[in-house]
Structure formats: C-alpha cells, structure tokens
Amino acid sequence: MALIHRKKTRPVKVGNVMVGGKDEVVIQSMTTTKTHDIEATVKEIERLEEAGCQIVRVACPDERAANAIPEIKKRINIPLVVDIHFNYRLALKAIEGGADKIRINPGNIGKRDKVEAVVNAAKEKGIPIRIGVNAGSLERHILEKYGYPTAEGMVESALHHIKILEDLDFHDIVVSLKASDVKLAIEAYEKAAEVIPYPLHLGITESGTLFAGSIKSAAGMGAILSKGIGSTMRISLSADPVEEVKVAKELLKTFGLASNAATLISCPTCGRIEIDLIKIANEVEEYISTIKAPIKVAVLGCAVNGPGEAREADIGIAGARGEGLLFRHGEIIRKVPEETMVEELKVEVDKIAEEMIQK
Ligand code: SF4
C-alpha cells in the first residue's frame, strides 16, 4: 500500500528528525519517570528508542528537572522535547541545556519580554516550539465565547498562540489540539489542517488503559490519519510508554505510513486449523517486532485457503498435516517439518528484510 499523502505542511526540524513537509508520521512518546532521576529517565528513553520511538518528551515541572536536561541529552540518541507549562525560566534553562524542541504555549508565558526571551533563545538554537492546545484547558476568553470546548474554540486558541510566535518572526512551530473526546479531536484536527500551515502533532489525550485506550486512540487517530492529516503522533496510555510506541507503530502500519516496520498477517483460525496458530503467531510477532523493513509475514492455520488468503505476504507459513508450507506471495516454495517451520520462517524473514534494507 502506498503512503497516504499527508497534507502539505512546513517542515520543522527536531534534532536530526524532520517533522512535516513529507508523508512520514514520526512516533513520539513521553517518559513517566521523574525527570530529575537521570538514571531512570535515560533507561526509559533507551527502551522507548529500541521499541521505535523517534522523538521523546520529558516533563519539566521544576528546577531539578531543568537541571537534568544536559546530562539526559548527552546520554540519549533520539531528539529530546522538554515540556514546560508556563515558567519561562524553566524554558530558558531547557533550551540552554540542549532541548531539541520545547512544548510551551506562548500565550501562557506572561509578559511580552518573557515571551521574547524564550522565542529568541529558541531561534538562536534553531529549535522549534510546540503549541499544545488541550480541550480541557482552553483560555477563558475562548470558553466564554463558545460556552464549552469546541473544535472552533480549539483552533482559535491555536491561532492565538501561533500569532504570538509569528509576530516575533518565529515559524518553527508544531501544533497539537488534543481532546479526550474522539469526535471533538477529529473535528479540531480537520479544521486545523485547513488553516494551519505547520505540522500537526496528533493525540487523543487521557485515552485510558492499554486495551481501551489503544482502541480509542486508533479510532480517533485512524480517522485523522486516513484524511492525510498529521505529521507526528503520540498515543497516550495509562501504561508503560513502550506500549504507546508499539500501538503507534501498529496504527501507522495499518495506513502504510511506516516504512521501517514489519507486519504480521495471521488468520483468525477456524475448524480447519492444523497447527497451534495462536502460539506461533505470537512468537513470530515478537520476532519481527525489531525488524526495520516493511516486510509482510503471514502465519496461517491451514493450507486450504491460507496461502491464497495471504497473497500480499512477502513470506509465510501455513499448517498442513504434520508439516508446514512455506510460501511467498501466495505461491508455495517448499514443505518444512512442523517442528522446525517457525525457525525456517525466521531465516527467510531475515533474508528478505536484509534484501529490502539494502535496496
Ligand atoms: Fe481457517 Fe485455514 Fe482460513 Fe485459518 S487459513 S481461518 S485455519 S481456513
């Protein structure tokens, strides 16, 4: 499946990662550790990176957190975003400390000279600012105008913050419009994509636990992504943030928006099943989770309909009585003993992945 064309946006550089200006959707997550606990934070970031996180954000609620930024930055490989609520001194410290992007709403910083200090510091270091509009914390004047959080109000809030930055000739902007109400979030992003030229950071906030939150996020962000909107995303879950990255990767694969991840095709099983499919599917899924090529691997319960049903797979196995059938693009290439079929599949997967990466 070809990449779904993203709405054209201005490209914004976050460290060595480009957000916007192209079809790719960059995966982000946020640490759950106390940022001042450098060891724990770095360890969590390493796990996130291994899972496929491309940009990581840390909270910066106080001086201790801001002081930890230089050391964290030194020890990690992916770009670091520092999240500040309104304290401009913390923002300046984070920028000075090597943040690759800060998340702060300029309208919440306060006096003009403080806003200017932050914007000038960001300009000097060449780092972007993300404006984070949240339906739950819209400005009073907007709430008074609309009565309650609406998509129009959220976009108006974003434009209000954008104008402050543009007036200071600052254009390295990323914007998010998060809501926990899925319909509201979809509407807000759709409206924003029409009028905002900057990359949009997608999120359904407070979406819930791993299972429920993944479904809610997939429903909301899926609708937005399917319209070609969004340049970066974070799945927000009450769970280990590594799970956020896994869900984001899976969602992007669904839309053909991940060029560096393998996909598993597995049958739902039925009375024709000839192998322990659920166990095998889980084992293969685990194995391919670290493969950085867009290979499609199929695991099917039987040979009757299997290979034909998974014609788009680059490689696959189907159970037959006492053995397995290895197939490529729907064509059977050889029979393999049941005991070794998963191992043989893994070898083939590695070969194809290598070929793809070298191309
Ligand atoms: Fe049933 Fe075979 Fe189809 Fe799996 S591949 S659902 S076992 S017919």
Q: What is the pTM of this model?
A: 0.91
244 with 131, same domain: the answer is yes
Specify the long-range contacts of residues 194-197, CB closer than 8 Å, at least 24 apart: 195/155, 195/159, 196/155, 196/158, 196/159, 196/162, 197/9, 197/10
Q: How many domains does the chain have?
A: 2
Nearest to 262 by CA among 272, 252, 274, 270: 252
Report the mean per-residue pLDDT for the chain. Answer: 92
Parent domain of 286: 263-358
ipTM above 0.95, yes or no: yes
pLDDT value of residue 4 = 62
Distance 310 CA to ligand 1 centre (A): 11
Tell which wins on pLDDT, 354 or 330. Answer: 354
Q: Is 309 annotated as a binding residue?
A: yes
Residue 267 CB–ligand 1 contact under 6 Å: yes
Q: Which ligand 1 atom lies nearest to the CA of residue 302?
A: 2
The DSSP secondary structure of 177-233, one letter per residue, reads EEBSSHHHHHHHHHHHHHH--SPEEE-BTT--SHHHHHHHHHHHHHHHHHTT--SEE
Nearest-CA residue for ligand 1 atom 8 is 305
Q: What is the pLDDT of residues 127-157, one digit of tens each?
A: 999 999 999 989 999 999 999 999 999 999 9
Distance 94 CA to ligand 1 centre (A): 55
140 with 206, same domain: the answer is yes
CA distance 280 to 300: 9
What CATH number should be reported for the domain holding residue 98? 3.20.20.20
Residue 182 CB–ligand 1 contact under 6 Å: no
What's the rounded mean pLDDT across residues 9-36? 95
Lowest mean pLDDT among 5-9, 113-117, 164-168, 251-255: 5-9
End position of a domain, from candidates 201, 232, 254: 254
What CATH number should be reported for the domain holding residue 310? 3.30.413.10
Which residue matches tokens 């043989």? 344
Nearest-CA residue for ligand 1 atom 2 is 302
Q: Is 53 annotated as a binding residue?
A: no
Q: Is 302 annotated as a binding residue?
A: yes
108 with 238, same domain: the answer is yes
Chain centre distance of CA 337 = 39
pLDDT value of residue 1 = 46
Residue 137 CB–ligand 1 contact under 6 Å: no
Does residue 209 lie in a domain region?
Answer: yes
Does residue 268 lie in a domain region?
Answer: yes
CA distance 250 to 229: 17
192 with 339, same domain: the answer is no
Q: Are strands 323-328 and 315-320 parallel, antiparallel or unpaired?
A: antiparallel
